[in-house]
Structure 1
Amino acid sequence: MAQAVRRPLRRKAQDMIEGASRRRAHADEGFSMVELTVAMLVLGVLSMAIIGLVLQTQSMSESNRSRIAAANLAARELDIVREEFTRNSGAPIAVADQGVVVNPHQLTGQTAGQPLRVDGTAYTVRRTSAWNITGNGVSACEGGAMVKYPTLRVQVEVTWKDMGAVAPVTTVAALAPKKDDKVAGTTGYVAVKVTDALGQPNPGRRVVVFSATESRSGLTDSSGCAVVQVNPGASGTMYSARMSDAGLVDITGDPEPEKVVGLVERGKLNNNASFAYDRAMSLRIHFVDTAGDLVADSVMDGQPYTVVASEYAGASGGRMLVADGAVVTLTGLWPTQYGAYFGTLPPPGGYDTVAPGGPGVPTIEVEVPTP
């Protein structure tokens, strides 16, 4: 009886041993195709993540190296300007007279006026000098007064090739002339306010102030104010101001608008001039039939149409033009809302309008009446 019981137990144990052996043998056969595919997919995802992290780290490292080099160039430029500013009694005025200069001090062995090269990267150093005068207001453009002892604000901005979305390196210093320097008493100052299409301060805009005998320039600061030092005659000199940034216009569409500043006297600040100045927009007009399809160019060639601006200078925002085809593109426009219609009389049902902004060129479809 005992022997009969032991026999099934031995058989069961043997079966368990054989089953374990078969499982080990199956495991030794390797991955199945599904398991191999999943493993390769996981490995690919991890590899892409690691490669992306490496590339991002490398890009950040290169960007940091460029910023360090740019900061060193900016500090170098300010050091040179400080030395020039204190060289003699006439140096502060000479530095201020330079206004806006690009790459004024080259590195050893490099070409004057060209970008400065450091470790194979080209850097552009732009220096702006303007007298810091507040007058009676927050900025020189908001209040006029006798100018007794101004300081010179020097800003150095360094950019480089392929900097992408990285911000330029900017350094600012305020330089105070010595009491016996030839600054107060013989010089005058013109402050020009520049705003954009929304009436907000427009920084970084170049302003040229000129008379019959001299021309000087400056850049608007964060408040949209540019202060330019001038040298009027003993009884004062008449000056004007002009904007000259590429791609920008005033409300009349003029890319280089001018305004009379008026009489500038020695030791005084004149802030009579201001400009609304912004990047020009384009407008495209499609002349279509009642079905919305473009008409033939021959239909519109020589035909009048009217463009209406919501903001304008003068008595009316409407302007009659002559088409030369079914598609017309207008450029150099003040950025505001525009409408357009066929002929010279607005249609009874109104006309379509479009505002600046958004992707592409703003487009208006103008329906052409059927003959």
Structure 2
Amino acid sequence: MLLRIVDRLRAARESEEGFTIIEVMVAMTIFAMIAAGVAAGIVSTLYLTQDNRSREAALNLANQAIDLARSTKDVFTLDDDTSSQNVGNQSFTIKQTTNWINSDGTDTPNSCGAGSGVLAYKRVSVTVSWTSGTSPRQKSVVLDTLISPSSAVSSANASTIVIGVRTANGGPNSGVAVTITPVSGGASSLANPPAATDSNGCSYAVGVTPGTYRVTISKAGNVDPLGATAPYYSVATVAGGVGNRTFLYGQAITATFGSPLNLKDGVTAKLPASLPVSYEYNGIVNTFQTTTATVFPYQWNVIAGGLTSTCTDVDPTNWPTSNKLATSPNIFNASDGTTPGFLPTTTLTATARAPMGIIDVKMGGIDTVLAATVKNTSAVAGGDPGCSPSTTYYFTGMTPSKATTIALPFGTWTLRGTTAIGGLLSSDSQNVKANPDASNQVVSTSGNTVTLDPRSVPTS
């Protein structure tokens, strides 16, 4: 038997039979497919394991953040915060957001808790996110909790004052000093002065005796929309209630008034001495008597002249349009909300340009000073809205018997020289006329009176 087995093995070894190339390739292909499937399964399992580990680590980090928030002694110090932490080779982003819930159930839209009722709880939401190893999509876990103060922030006999400070873009303004002083109605000095605003732009005063208080804020380099460096408001409180006030307050920028907006590039015009410039935003008007102004960084409408309730013709949008004359949309109140005349150039500076009436004036005699005085102090039907009281601007350095391009606020003006000898402006219409390099205005003259109308040609 053993010899027979040996003979068969020797015959098999000496045989020339075997696998063909095609058979080998088919076998290798099948093996590769099976191996690839097994490998994909192994990789998927590894990724799933990694993702589960990441989720578990994220939950641990979220729980740690929640526990830390709950252990905070002063709930008012809980602010929005974002941080990062590595666990193993995985990086996690931890974001904490906070806001107050009042006793009436109001979940205040701002983290300061400026609403009705008593401040009852503070909601803390912690989001821990990471980028999954299986895709660039970010994954996250979220935990929420409610934290009540160690003692009531408002009692039946006391109240709370909540202050919020927001910048121009609606973000919080931190580090703003807050002063609260009693005014009337039983108000008394605070035992514990409020702290500066936190990272949410919030400050609080608790245990306040009901009454009316003056709340003043201040921060170097900051102003409110009216230009006040230390704005203040009165806040009234009642027993068991919350008095609140939100300020718009932020970094001031310096705006410098330049050449008229409706004058072609490369063309210059002489401006009157001591020309006031008005800045208008959402009904707020600030007027400055200098060419530089310190303003809060809104997109201001820039107006040449002092805009007041009795002097409205300097603002082109106040001119009536019933006669089918329309203010140019390319300069005033563009449909996209931009104001081409106000252009921030850095975080602290801006250029300001306003459309103005542009005319060429030729002085008579030897006078070098031109006086322009408001003629229409009251409104003219269908035309000049008027400006009261009458104002006079002066142009110095005029060249006698030579046309000079000047710029004036829109309105009706009487032009004259300032000397008695040959200094009166000639009534010849050729000596006062529109400048061809200016646009978006209508100029009409009568003797030495000129009307500078900001409305364009008829629209139909």
Normalising by structure 1, we get a TM-score of 0.43
Normalising by structure 2, we get a TM-score of 0.36
Larger relative contact order (CA 8 Å, sep ≥ 6): 1
